[in-house]
Structure 1
């Protein structure tokens, strides 16, 4: 059944909620490394594997599972991945030793790549003149999932213990699989590839598609800045300068989700042929988010409010640029959207991983001002690349 150009507002909302619920699984464990490692007997020196294995699994899912969206029927692929995700989450919830939890963490990341099967699905069902807005709305749901996961898992753990968030997500993902099986239309790709040919073609797409390379560089820089900020800002908020509790830090993170409102706005502007100006605004917003705390100083209350505003502005820039980039690459052809999305997300996710590492390292060696300088470099690099872009190609 061909559902192209027939997406409804209810379906857009469903895909946005689904994407957010799925991708949140990647981030639930991040603020819970301490209690999980103590409960499962993970050595303190290896506790970072709790997060790292989830991220490695997700990257492998992007590279080896998401491209299957150009080969297999999309609804069945998505529902199958969600079933596997719910089993992995249940394994994490019930884990009593390090090996079991770490294996579950890997498969949570691997199967959560289902979120990136749904985004091209939404693009496929949208008319070209509304595709950017549709993708923007779905991505706003995904970004809300990223931003809400950490504070929600912290609050649930405070109330019910760390196992609870994984039991809750197990039930939520299982229910989501049933809903998507009932509500999603079938989508059978038209291309006929062997799996090996499909994977090999991803490198060819990257090598021969300038728009994909450029948009991936922009978003790798933006997600690097985003990850650096949200990795280190809890450390500065918990430091003697602010001395916020975990609940206070969770509230700070919740305020930052306001930045997700930029996604549908950016998508609508891209639909209107304003991709270049929207990209410039996004990159400048990220630069301002790191430049303002370097230049403006005041009382504890002033600085705290400034950091909240900078977090919102940075999130707006990262989410807006992400949507413009996806709108651009999805316009390249329906038959390769899943592979384009897999390459795009993989590259910018690598930028995010580098940003997280750089943030922690810079905080340890140079403090908060060093973090701000490092964060500022990301959008500045993107702006240098942006300056080489020809305006005629900006909306593609």
Structure 2
């Protein structure tokens, strides 16, 4: 499950180290090409909103295999895009169809013992975040050597291979609910209103991922600037640095089991803020960027593991829908971070990028510590 999460989630992030090359292909600006990263993440959020709840009323293994084939088709369309309009549509489609990890994570939580749920989620999420990070390494190296279109062709082939493997290896998982699809979608708002922990996790998760996306969307622009004079391949290699943080996910899950997920979430937000302070003060030094990447990926991963450990303990029968609410919020935050990050770079440079990241993380900190009870009461009344 961890390997499958890593391979499929990579689809959403292949574009980030390649944005400059894609911009040159279609003769658009760096600010405009940031829309590709934004649309992919919006597509992912919309895919989760409309497709992920099906995990509660459909057999999961068959649903996962079907989505893998559909994702392969979207990736082929991305590789064949011949104008900017088709590219934007394909970017959205890649995100919309690549929701497989969010079907797998609740599946893993369902199979885990309650006393080990944090650890199991941490293990699976390690695979997911390693996939996110290594996707940039893969696309940076392959894109530099063979062109950005080749990255998506290879990704489509991997989806089809993975579909065959999961069909053979995953157990059958019968649906936990018989609710009609329309009623299933309608219940999402009810869950958001009645579960204060879900509301809090959705806000903090969205802001943490927004800050994460701000950095990874703009890193290639910094590396190609006169400060470094590097390119997509180097931007991709930074994914290897971030694996250090990803590998800590299972440890975070164990701490969450022993203490509380809320405790580890608070630590995660603080670590993310420190990472951006490091980028702001030391971002023009390579070693400073490396330290910041390790901290940012560690904090983001710890935050997501902590939040999902909290929400998966709420209502076993609605686990996919709860994950839908959380992850839609999460990727709306990520898509916002992508476009705001590109805008900040174009108008304010690296300092603007760092200030934007700090602001997003600060909102997460305020929602977690300062305004938690008031915010939850207000949202509950409205």
Of residues 125, 136, 144, the one that matches 1:139 is 125
SS of the residue corresponding to residue 250 of structure 2 reads helix
8 Å contact kept, 2:34–2:217: no
Q: Could you tell me which residue of structure 1 aligns to residue 163 of structure 2?
A: 177
1:295 CA displacement: 4.8
SS of the residue corresponding to residue 227 of structure 2 reads coil
SS of the residue corresponding to residue 12 of structure 2 reads coil
Correspondence list, 1:2-21, <5 A: 15-21=1-7
Of residues 206, 229, 240, the one that matches 2:192 is 206
Q: Could you tell me which residue of structure 2 aligns to residue 311 of structure 1?
A: 293
Q: From the superposition, tell whether residues 199 and 228 of structure 1 become closer, same or farther in structure 2 (CA, over 3 Å).
A: same
Q: Deviations over 1:120-158 (max 9, x none)?
A: 001011111111111111111111222222231121122
1:63 CA displacement: 0.4
Unaligned runs of at least 5 residues, structure 1 = 1-14, 391-396
Q: Could you tell me which residue of structure 2 aligns to residue 234 of structure 1?
A: 220
Q: From the superposition, tell whether residues 348 and 225 of structure 1 become closer, same or farther in structure 2 (CA, over 3 Å).
A: same
Q: From the superposition, tell whether residues 35 and 386 of structure 1 become closer, same or farther in structure 2 (CA, over 3 Å).
A: closer
Unaligned runs of at least 5 residues, structure 2 = 374-382
Of residues 351, 361, 364, the one that matches 1:369 is 351
Q: Could you tell me which residue of structure 1 aligns to residue 262 of structure 2?
A: 276
8 Å contact kept, 1:262–1:317: no
Q: Deviations over 1:171-203 (max 9, x none)?
A: 211111111111111111231101110000001
Q: From the superposition, tell whether residues 222 and 55 of structure 1 become closer, same or farther in structure 2 (CA, over 3 Å).
A: closer
Q: Could you tell me which residue of structure 1 aligns to residue 368 of structure 2?
A: 386
Q: Could you tell me which residue of structure 1 aligns to residue 65 of structure 2?
A: 79
Of 370-379 and 344-353, more deviation after overlay is shown by 370-379
> Matches of 1:375 and 1:94 in 2, distance apart?
34
Q: Could you tell me which residue of structure 2 aligns to residue 190 of structure 1?
A: 176
Correspondence list, 1:291-310, <5 A: 291-295=277-281, 303-310=285-292
Q: Could you tell me which residue of structure 1 aligns to residue 319 of structure 2?
A: 337
Greater relative contact order (Cα < 8 A, sep 6+): 2
Q: Does residue 329 of structure 2 align to residue 347 of structure 1?
A: yes
Q: Could you tell me which residue of structure 1 aligns to residue 379 of structure 2?
A: none
Q: Deviations over 1:280-328 (max 9, x none)?
A: 211110111112344569xx6xx22111111110110010010011011
> Matches of 1:111 and 1:166 in 2, distance apart?
14
Q: Rg bigger for which structure? A: 1
Q: Deviations over 1:338-358 (max 9, x none)?
A: 111111011011111222222
1:252 CA displacement: 2.7
Q: Could you tell me which residue of structure 2 aligns to residue 267 of structure 1?
A: 253
1:264 CA displacement: 1.0
> Matches of 1:108 and 1:43 in 2, distance apart?
22
Of 245-254 and 138-147, more deviation after overlay is shown by 245-254
> Matches of 2:211 and 2:13 in 1, distance apart?
17
> Matches of 1:103 and 1:379 in 2, distance apart?
30
8 Å contact kept, 2:45–2:329: no
Q: Give the alignment's Cα RMSD to 1 decimal.
A: 2.3
8 Å contact kept, 1:359–1:371: yes
Of residues 189, 201, 207, the one that matches 1:215 is 201
1:101 CA displacement: 4.7
Q: From the superposition, tell whether residues 71 and 31 of structure 1 become closer, same or farther in structure 2 (CA, over 3 Å).
A: same
Q: From the superposition, tell whether residues 316 and 47 of structure 1 become closer, same or farther in structure 2 (CA, over 3 Å).
A: closer
8 Å contact kept, 1:266–1:321: no
> Matches of 1:360 and 1:103 in 2, distance apart?
19
Q: Does residue 338 of structure 2 align to residue 356 of structure 1?
A: yes
Aligned residues: 371
8 Å contact kept, 2:135–2:239: no
